[in-house]
Amino acid sequence: MVSELDKATVRMKDPEQVKNIISALRKGGAGKLQVISDFDMTLTRFGFNGRRCPTSHNIIDNSRVISEEGRKKLKDLLHYYYPIEIDPYRTMEDKLPLMVEWWTKAHNLLSQQKILKSDIAQMVKESDVMLRDGFNIFFDQLHQSRVPLFIFSAGVGDVLEEIIRQAGVFHPNVNVVSNYMDFNDSGILKGFREPLIHTYNKNNTVLKNTEYFQQLCTRTNILLLGDSMGDLSMADGVTSLENILRVGFLNDRVEEQRGKYLEAYDIVLEKDETLDVVNGILRFILPQTELVQPKSP
């Protein structure tokens, strides 16, 4: 059915159930489908050549416009809070206030750095960020089939939009809900807009007042992509949900987190830096449009 599911990176608690969901998604077709995806470390690579790739926040943290002192403080926050974010032995309730603390401190530091709106494109260009291999097939396939792609990110919206714009895949079927920067009249960063989105509130509470909320409810078959346990609630706003396939990228502390991920995600992709499996599933679900061949003279 989907040969990519035989890849060595794929793990499933119940392969039969996965098969049934994929069949149901195919039956429903493009008209009923929407893709709800996390951004950082889900659509972007976790590592490349043995080095970590940056999140949308890290792109700003590491950029030349941040003072040395600011960069050090932001790095200290990352080293303190990231291990808490992914700690498999702490509950989400326990982590939640600490995540609010991390995002708040980081956003306050960034807001003191006189970042210009016009700096963002260059920051992204100079960064080591990479979308996962196969990203162009993923974005283009959804666009061609008119399937909405909803990116729900606790990262920085202005930065992530710039990443997909520079990659040439910010098609009109893409909607983003994320943390957006607030600039003053001179184009200098003065803060971040509400509501604050962090790893563990990616759910209805932040979606209720967004424009996208209505549209979200009309497509009842869902392909959900995430890399964190917090990404599992991204589809909670869809009231009349029919079928959902959850695909989780397990990037870090693989052995310790495997059990939890297998319970929560239908398909777990371990240290897989590609979108191959997702693209294989979409190829099976969506009717394939003929590639337009250039006319010979």
The reply to whether 41 sits near Mg ion by the rule CB under 5 A is yes
Which of 6, 40, 140, 231 is catalytic? The answer is: 40
The reply to whether 201 sits near ligand C5P by the rule CB under 6 A is no
User: Using CA atoms, how far apart are residues 178 and 206, in angstroms rounded to an integer?
Assistant: 10
- Least distance to Mg ion, CB of residue 209, Å: 23
- Least distance to ligand C5P, CB of residue 104, Å: 10
CA-based nearest residue to 124, from 133, 115, 113: 115
CA-based nearest residue to 55, from 261, 256, 252, 270: 252
Distance spanning both ends of the chain, measured CA to CA = 39
Q: Is beta strand 189-192 parallel, antiparallel or unpaired with respect to 181-183?
A: antiparallel
Question: Is residue 94 flagged as an active site residue?
Answer: no
The reply to whether 177 sits near ligand C5P by the rule CB under 6 A is no
Among 25, 149, 154, 224, binds ligand C5P (CB under 6 A): 154
Instruction: Please report the DSSP string for 171-223 in residue order.
Output: -TTEEEEEE-EEE-TTSBEEEEPSSP--TT--SHHHHTTSTHHHHHHH--EEE
Which is closer to ligand C5P, CB of 106 or CB of 286? Answer: 106
- Least distance to ligand C5P, CB of residue 25, Å: 24
User: Using CA atoms, how far apart are residues 226 and 257, in angstroms rounded to an integer?
Assistant: 14
Q: Pick what 244 binds: ligand C5P, Mg ion, none; C-beta below 5 to 8 Å, kind-dependent.
A: none
SS3 16: helix
Here's the x/- map for ligand C5P, 68-107, by CB under 6 A: it reads as ----------x---x--x----------------xx--x-
Structural tokens at position 56: 């949308």
Which is closer to ligand C5P, CB of 236 or CB of 242? Answer: 236
Among 37, 55, 221, 233, binds ligand C5P (CB under 6 A): 55
CA-based nearest residue to 120, from 182, 171, 163: 163
Question: Is residue 40 flagged as an active site residue?
Answer: yes
The count of chain residues that interact with ligand C5P, using the rule CB under 6 A, is 18
Which is closer to ligand C5P, CB of 132 or CB of 280? Answer: 132
Which is closer to ligand C5P, CB of 18 or CB of 229? Answer: 229
User: Using CA atoms, how far apart are residues 91 and 272, in angstroms rounded to an integer?
Assistant: 26
The reply to whether 155 sits near ligand C5P by the rule CB under 6 A is yes
User: Using CA atoms, how far apart are residues 70 and 76, in angstroms rounded to an integer?
Assistant: 10
The reply to whether 39 sits near ligand C5P by the rule CB under 6 A is yes
Helices (H), the chain: 15-32, 56-61, 68-85, 92-111, 120-126, 135-144, 157-166, 204-207, 212-218, 254-264, 276-285
Interface segment toward Mg ion; rule CB under 5 A; list 40-48, 167-175, 185-193, 245-253: 40-48
The reply to whether 57 sits near ligand C5P by the rule CB under 6 A is yes
Residues 190-249 that bind Mg ion (CB under 5 A): 227
User: Using CA atoms, how far apart are residues 226 and 246, in angstroms rounded to an integer?
Assistant: 8
The reply to whether 38 sits near Mg ion by the rule CB under 5 A is yes
**Catalytic site positions:** 38, 40
Footprint of ligand C5P (CB under 6 A) = 38-41, 55, 57-58, 78, 82, 85, 102-103, 106, 153-155, 199, 228
